Amino acid sequence: MYKAPRGTFDILPQEQAYWKYVEGKVAFLCQLYGYQPLSTPIFEDSELFTHAVAGGTDLVDKEMYTFEDRKGQKLALRAEGTAPVCRAYLEHGLFNLAQPVKLYYIGPAFRYERPQAGRYRQHHQFGFEAIGSADPALDAEVIEMAQRFFFSLGLSQFSINLNSIGCKLCQPKYVEALQEHYSDYTEQLCPDCKVRLVRNPLRLLDCKKASCQKIAETAPKTVNYLCPECQAHFQSVQKYLGALGITFQLNHRLVRGLDYYTRTVFEIEPQEEGTQQSALGGGGRYDNLIEELGGKPTPAVGFAAGIERLILNLKRQKIAVPSLPTPAAFIACLGEEAKIEAAKLASALRKNGIAVIEATGDKSLKAQLRQANALGAIYTIIIGKQEMENRTIILRDMRNGEQKAIPQTEIITALKQGETA
């Protein structure tokens, strides 16, 4: 028997209510903040990610799904959403529109990670990006939008971590200080961090190993190395957040796992005790990325959340989501003639926009009613020999088991009234 590949899973019909719920909230939120949908391909030139996210990150070094097509072109499954959005922004000349351009997306991302609860090889991200403005008010708006998204889902037990990691000018000085700090502990570092110390020192702060985290605790803080412009920007972001009434905590070790970030970085973490602290979402500024990808210098800021993790948290916090719509009626029938009548009736009802499911095979009435119940039908329409002769049907309300005979001509009205009852 074939199985879904490790780290991937099917989203069965009974799970879909959660997905539709989240998607509905996403669409409402993005409309509220003026973001427009953008869909990008599931695979891209692999260099887009290696260039944007950069070597020395786990994502590029260990997690990308890369392959060559039949002509030898190197492609990669979408590893994250920001680089493709920037690529599309440049490719379609969106810089000619009024800036910032605000875009959002929902779709799968692929990372070769060690699967565990909340960590998959295919996960889905909802992300939004505001490209073309360095205004700190926009950073605060993006953080507020992320928070409003979680609140709109009914989630409340989360916290916002915030930091600034500076720009091209001030970050190198910080990195130097970081290297100096870590060079006193080289023997204690995990093998990955030994490489990070040389290749990508900022990532040292990201290491989840307890021994390395201890060293990170006493590491220099990015905020103490910001240039005056970055410092003013960060102060301003915090001022706007304060004005918007958003509670956040400064986290000096927050650097994010991707290399394109500059200045503001933030992450949203669940607070629940006993659950593994894995970010529900994260984002920040990436003021150099568009230029790195061949465009003019264009500041930008954005955020993405993993939908699987959101759903895990909805379940943990016992948040009920609306069920998917069930059929208005199930049509049960007894006998060959009645079955033809049922097929005609089903067609007529669907033509009128009424969702129905008709019985198949020749099951007993009891079995047909059981099926109607399992499908969550509001009514069962029963057609037997007598009903055929009288041109009536029996309408059974599945909510209370009451049933009555009504003329066939009255079915549509009865169903429409019943659905809203």
Q: Which residues bind ligand HAM (CB under 6 A)?
A: 80-82, 111, 113, 118-120, 123, 125, 127, 129, 257-258, 279-284, 302-306, 308-309
CA distance 241 to 142: 10
Spatial separation of the C-alpha atoms in residues 103 and 375, rounded to whole Å = 38
In angstroms, give the least distance from the CB of 83 to ligand HAM.
8
Q: How far is Cα of residue 354 from the mean position of the Cα atoms in its chain? A: 32
CB of 385 to ligand HAM, least distance (A): 57
Residue 217: CB atoms within 10 Å: 8
Q: Is the peptide bond before 100 cis (omega within 30 degrees of 0)?
A: yes
Query: Residue 260 CB, nearest distance to ligand HAM (Å)?
Result: 8
CA dist., res. 381 & res. 345, Å (int): 10
Q: Which is nearer to ligand HAM, 94 or 388 (by Cβ)?
A: 94
Helix (H, G, I), strand (E, B) or coil at 348: helix
Smallest distance, ligand HAM to C-beta of residue 92, A: 19
**Token output for 376:** 């969550």
Residue whose CB is less far from ligand HAM, 106 or 388: 106
CB-nearer residue toward ligand HAM: 143 or 345: 143
Closest to ligand HAM by CB, 281 or 327: 281
Residue 133 C-beta: closest distance to ligand HAM, Å = 14
User: How many C-beta neighbours within 10 Å does residue 167 have?
Assistant: 18
Q: CA angle, corner 289, sides to 283 and 294, nearest 5?
A: 155
Q: Which is nearer to ligand HAM, 283 or 327 (CB)?
A: 283
What is the nearest approach in angstroms of ligand HAM to the Cβ of residue 315? 15
HSE, CB side, 13 Å, CA atoms: give it for residue 173.
11
φ/ψ of residue 173, rounded to 5: -65, -40
CB nearer to ligand HAM: give 139 or 341: 139
Q: Please, what is the minimum distance in Å from the beta carbon of residue 54 to ligand HAM?
A: 13
User: Dihedrals φ, ψ of 131, to 5°?
Assistant: -110, 130
Q: Minimum Å distance from CB 390 to ligand HAM?
A: 59
Place of tokens 């102060």: 235
- What DSSP string runs through 282-303? EEEE-TTHHHHTTS----EEEE
Residue closer to ligand HAM by CB (options 95, 112) is: 112
Beta strand segments in 366-414, E: 379-383, 392-397, 403-407
Q: 163: closest CA among 229, 218, 58, 238?
A: 238
> Which residues, other chains included, contact 1 with Cβ-Cβ below 8 Å and sequence gap of 6+?
none
Q: How far is the CB of 165 from ligand HAM (least distance, A)?
A: 13
